[in-house]
Amino acid sequence: MSIEQAILQEWIREMLENARQHQRKRVRQPSNEYEGGAVIAYYEMLNSLRNTLEAFGLDLRAYGLDVDLEEELLSLRRVGRRKPLRDVRTVAGAWKEHEEEVRQELFEDLERM
């Protein structure tokens, strides 16, 4: 690996971490325009880098950009969620009432994991 590749990898790693920190703050304070703007700026930079790497046929995984930037940075969900998206009791209770609807939501949640 060249020194240039190592520098680029480290730069991308730092930008992703900074973007995730701003995203966590944005989720806690959705009306904070600064955090929202910072997240969008990081998203634009990282997306541009990802597009450039793809254009040159480079492996996104090697640079840490094999992530869904849109889902991680542009949604208002928590980054690095540890808990399941749905509580089992909640799903089971709603299942009886809206079986088909809940089943579809459950499958969508599982796809996002």
Kindly state the percentage of the chain with pLDDT values over 90: 43
Q: Three-state SS for 93?
A: helix
pLDDT at residue 93 greater than cutoff 80: no
Q: Is 64 left (phi over 0), alpha (psi -120 to 50) or beta?
A: left
Task: Find all residues with CB under 8 Å of 27, minimum gap 6, and list them.
Answer: 76, 77, 78, 79
Contact 35, 29 (CB under 8 A): yes
State the average pLDDT over residues 6-20: 94
Long-range pairs, 52-56, Cβ under 8 A, ≥24 = none
What tokens appear for 89 in the block?
Answer: 């009791």
Q: Which band of pLDDT confidence, cut at 50, 70 and 90, is reported for residue 47?
A: very high
Residue 14 has pLDDT above 80, yes or no: yes
- pLDDT band for 102, please (50, 70, 90 cuts): low
- Going by C-alpha positions, the residue among 20, 61, 24, 25 that lies closest to residue 43 is 20
Q: Which residue would you say has higher pLDDT here, 94 or 5? A: 5
pTM of the full predicted structure? 0.64
Q: CA 44 to CA 13: how far, in whole Å?
A: 15
